[in-house]
Structure 1
């Protein structure tokens, strides 16, 4: 009986660790995607300001 409980606890622990690794991987992907969007937004702002400066001259 105690061995079965111990095995169940170990199994649950392994499942949790596996799920946490998957969640961490997804968070990294989401973070990289957010960085790309931010970089695109900054680039678009710079291009807009460049266009405004050329039209002002």
Structure 2
């Protein structure tokens, strides 16, 4: 992604993408790898995972 182009805010992340983030983290994939694969900010991935109900 070129510099200066904003990434998606948390509210605009699709349910499928949220599910992939949580599933990847449950499989012990590191947040840095998930952020690259899903093209999200690190804080967004961590917030998605933190808000996931278990």
Q: Normalising by structure 2, what TM-score? A: 0.28
Higher relative contact order (CA 8 A, sep 6+): 2
Of structures 1 and 2, the larger Rg is shown by 1
Higher helix share: 1
